[in-house]
Structure 1
């Protein structure tokens, strides 16, 4: 029992990544407990980043963004402190699991899902935050069909300090020729520590490549390492040119060629939906 309130009932994820994740019971309600991995327990920067998720989530009150209960420290018998966050439990599964259990989504589903998830991302960007870790694993689909964008541990607020710092680092890494490698979802500029709303849009577009094809963005069947192009269309069933063009524009290698903001994506989705209605 933690804080005389939270009773740990099961392990969700342990010894993977930044923190361990548990399920807890709080006065009859099931919630999620995230505990900073003990190897980072004395790392001030790691603690700051861990606590940042609480700060970020406190700015939102939206069904597509998790609600955060509290942050606290729990002292072990040896005197070591655990850093803990308790937050809302999302009933459902993430979209990577969803595709693995079911199948790649249809074009009709894809357009509907893209509209709903883009609307959530729009709320994040309107509060001057960047998520910086969008991928199918970090998008939940609740049992009622509501989507929830999770894991704001890497999120950052866009302000003058961040812009100045990011541009300086980005320019230096360009000169050194570093930072081109990505995991498939991460925009190339993010590996040079430079992020904008277009960076999240890139990751969102790559997420939908996976959702529509069932293949990870760097799958050898689709991805050409030399040209950095991804030939995904032939693996997606029934996707119209208009819809495919939205994805293509979102995943442009050059940020300047991508959508400027989420509203532009929603506008293009709206135009497609009107055409469908007229047919």
Structure 2
């Protein structure tokens, strides 16, 4: 792979990592002159076309997510049997490596990381995009401490794939939510639970549950409560522990209702840490001063001194004592004055109303807040079509909220308009062109058709603006495409009883073609060499050019009379099995048996069965990996491979 150039654009430079589904390479985008990361699907996934299509669809959806804390997806590509995603290249380490190398992280560091991860989830959840595989391995920390979350949508593609791997868990079971462990559909609450597990590991250095097998760990997520983090690391603050355990609640309703709600608590905790950062200097207890305990220096007197000396010494002592008392009194009054001014400020800090800085330049906003005794913190930067560069988009706390002096005001700073590079889509089909534009953050504008005898219908002939131009994100690209010849959909005829030659001729007249063919031994009433089944069935409406698969009664001699030369599936790929089904005790149950094979998906049996009955259903399937599915009252209860 190293040294190859994919899609005539991405030069593969080095292998930088790998996961269960893909290998990651560092590559150079020769068109834009930047470094990118290529996530290349492993061969066992690339061979599953259903998975590949779902993977491409999920990656395109994730590409719509643009956020400073998310690894951006630039492109989704294919070259021969190699499928890949082009992503932002991030220099740094993943969070798992940091925890392994440094052990439990300090509270402040862990809260900052958690806050950034939460922001990424908040942005994704707003787009109804659930990560499903939040874990330290998917969280990258750049060399300057920024947090980037990667692999949005990929776990969803894997979880819904028809590909099965014995003994392989999609995602990491150590970070599964209880609903994931039960095999239920998951939503945003699952991401919040997984983030809670990540926070737990950051402050303790270990995951909350571990066992001998993935199943054992999954059961712990469902049944057991985690040991409180402070029992493993007493340095964890009680406030952070409460946030972690709330995020890890077994019931979704007991967790944070949203990433925004969790982010609010993390932000408040950050402010608390910041407010106490100078505590050693500000609140260091002072030794109380006793005005009666002021040290005085007295002359040493001999006991045998004369009376005059005694009188003189007494007078001096009396005068010195007056001065000492005067100094002590002044110090005492000064202390009272200081206490009168300082103690209320320490015990009851002054409150101010937060001024509005939305729409202000960052420097101006900083001055406005400083005048009120507040601090400006640039929480994040975001593109905006309405707010100029380096101006404030939003603030927290909002305007007019009463807060104590010294508090931080978090702001979102505008990066201005976001511009993207227009892809070169000339020569692509209209559908491919639209997908490329969506991936680039653009939309399809007007589409005009022109006749062009040398190009297939629907091919892009021209685009405005041209490829390589810079355009505001969300803007439209106008296209001129080859005129499409209108073709009406076709109804599949009944071809049972015909020979393959006859069926091929009939399909050709309708603009259809023969697909897969399966030879089976003739049964009573069938004529050798004739079609006994077809897929799609008669009456199905399909697009022109579609294929129709056939099962024909085998006969000795050549398959056809010479008109067609068709590949036939060997009889060994046809399997006949009796499937035993035990109906649970109780009321009558509707039992449906469905076969999924190379010939499609079809229902082969349906009946209302009595509770406790045993059904034996003969099943015939074709192909290398046929599966039978048993449904009871519309619920899938069993999936059985037939080979």
Tell me which of 266, 289, 299 is aligned to 1:269: 266
Matched, 1:26 2:17: no
Q: Could you say if the C-alpha distance between residues 100 and 62 of structure 1 is closer, same or farther in structure 2, counting changes exceeding 3 Å?
A: same
Maintained 8 Å contact 2:136/2:198: yes
Matched, 1:70 2:71: no
State the aligned residue count: 248
Tell me which of 241, 245, 256 is aligned to 1:259: 256
CA distance in 2, matches of 1:219, 1:213: 14
Structure 1 runs not aligned, ≥5 long: 76-80, 157-164, 166-181
Segment drifting more, 23-32 vs 207-216: 23-32
1:202-251 CA-to-partner distances (Å, cap 9, x unmatched) read 0000011111111122247xx99495111132223422212110000000
1:62-107 CA-to-partner distances (Å, cap 9, x unmatched) read 12112222222212xxxxx211221111111110011112221111
Maintained 8 Å contact 1:20/1:35: yes
The structure with more strand, counted as a fraction of residues: 2
The answer to which structure, 1 or 2, has the higher relative contact order (CA under 8 A, 6+ apart) is 1
Tell me which of 186, 194, 198 is aligned to 1:203: 194
Segment drifting more, 110-119 vs 224-233: 224-233
TM-score, normalization by structure 1: 0.80
Maintained 8 Å contact 2:21/2:42: yes
Structure 2 runs not aligned, ≥5 long: 161-171, 212-216, 280-643
CA distance in 1, matches of 2:180, 2:210: 21
Maintained 8 Å contact 1:129/1:155: no
Matched, 1:229 2:219: no
Maintained 8 Å contact 1:49/1:154: no
Maintained 8 Å contact 2:99/2:105: yes
Maintained 8 Å contact 1:6/1:24: yes
TM-score, normalization by structure 2: 0.36
The structure with more helix, counted as a fraction of residues: 1
Aligned CA RMSD, in angstroms, stands at 2.5
Q: Could you say if the C-alpha distance between residues 217 and 267 of structure 1 is closer, same or farther in structure 2, counting changes exceeding 3 Å?
A: same
CA distance in 2, matches of 1:49, 1:235: 42
Q: Which residue of 1 aligns with 2:51?
A: 46
Deviation at 1:275, TM superposition (A): 4.3
Tell me which of 176, 181, 195 is aligned to 1:186: 176
Deviation at 1:13, TM superposition (A): 3.5
Q: Which residue of 2 aligns with 1:217?
A: 208
Maintained 8 Å contact 2:39/2:86: yes
